[in-house]
Amino acid sequence: AQSVSQHNHHVILSEAASLELGCNYSYGGTVNLFWYVQYPGQHLQLLLKYFSGDPLVKGIKGFEAEFIKSKFSFNLRKPSVQWSDTAEYFCAVNARGGSYIPTFGRGTSLIVHP
Amino acid sequence: DAGVIQSPRHEVTEMGQEVTLRCKPISGHDYLFWYRQTMMRGLELLIYFNNNVPIDDSGMPEDRFSAKMPNASFSTLKIQPSEPRDSAVYFCASSLIRGAGYNEQFFGPGTRLTVL
């Protein structure tokens, strides 16, 4: 079974700072990777996803993530955060050819100060 | 499409009472998931269905929890009797499995349950 580890539980930044949230997974086979975002008081929604092809994935609102297979990582980045990026961020992985059920990380709480 | 619909959005009840949470998945989706979110434990998968059939309920915390999916457009999560430690936000999500196990989940707005 796959597992997902998000190393940063809480991140506090000022506006315009750069962001990188770590995500590592454990699974030996081919995976699909996701980042979801949960704004305060709202439900989770998809931020970006990776299935195949270019390992650098562009998402909404200027977010991107890079899949590094050798490191089993799928880190989320944004060059300049805004106050409106304050949210909880979840990394998720599902294994191809196995369970179609994604495994979610514990989440990272991001607070951006104006 | 209206997305995943959950009701009620907020539920306040007293310990010992029965609580029923409802979910309407996106039409055409073949998987439905129930999650619980708390500060202490994060996002936990409770149970999921495929084509209305429960596949894995190993995440259901106790026998007080039960879930049903009588048809493709409706599911319930029931807690009987409820306890204060059940207080959480309960999310329903649905998805459609496509090639290569593509499984983007669409979440509902959640039900915030408070058990006094």
Yes or no, beta carbons of A45 and B107 under 8 Å apart = yes
The answer to whether B59 faces chain A, any CB pair under 8 Å, is: no
- Kindly determine whether residue A32 and residue B102, on different chains, have CB atoms separated by under 8 Å: yes
Across the interface, whether the CB atoms of B101 and A94 are under 8 A apart is answered yes
**A93 CA to chain B: closest CA distance, Å?**
10
Hey, what are A31's tokens? 């995976």
pLDDT tens for each residue of B2-59: 799 999 999 999 999 999 999 999 999 999 999 999 988 888 999 999 999 999 999 9
| Residue A83 token pair | 């106050």
| Model pLDDT for residues A77-113, shown as the tens digit of each residue | 999 999 999 999 999 998 876 667 888 999 999 999 9
Judged by a CB distance cut-off of 8 A, whether residue B7 touches chain A is no
Structure tokens at A10: 């809480």
Closest CA to A25 of A5, A48, A50: A5
| A90, A94, A100, best to mutate vs chain B, most B CBs in 10 Å | A100
| B97/chain A closest Cα distance in angstroms | 7
Chain B nearest CA to A59, separation (Å): 14
Mean pLDDT (chain A) is: 92
Sign for the pseudo-dihedral over CA of A83, A89, B106, A59: positive
With H, G, I as helix, E, B as strand and everything else as coil, classify residue B57.
coil
Cα separation, A33 vs A91, whole angstroms: 8
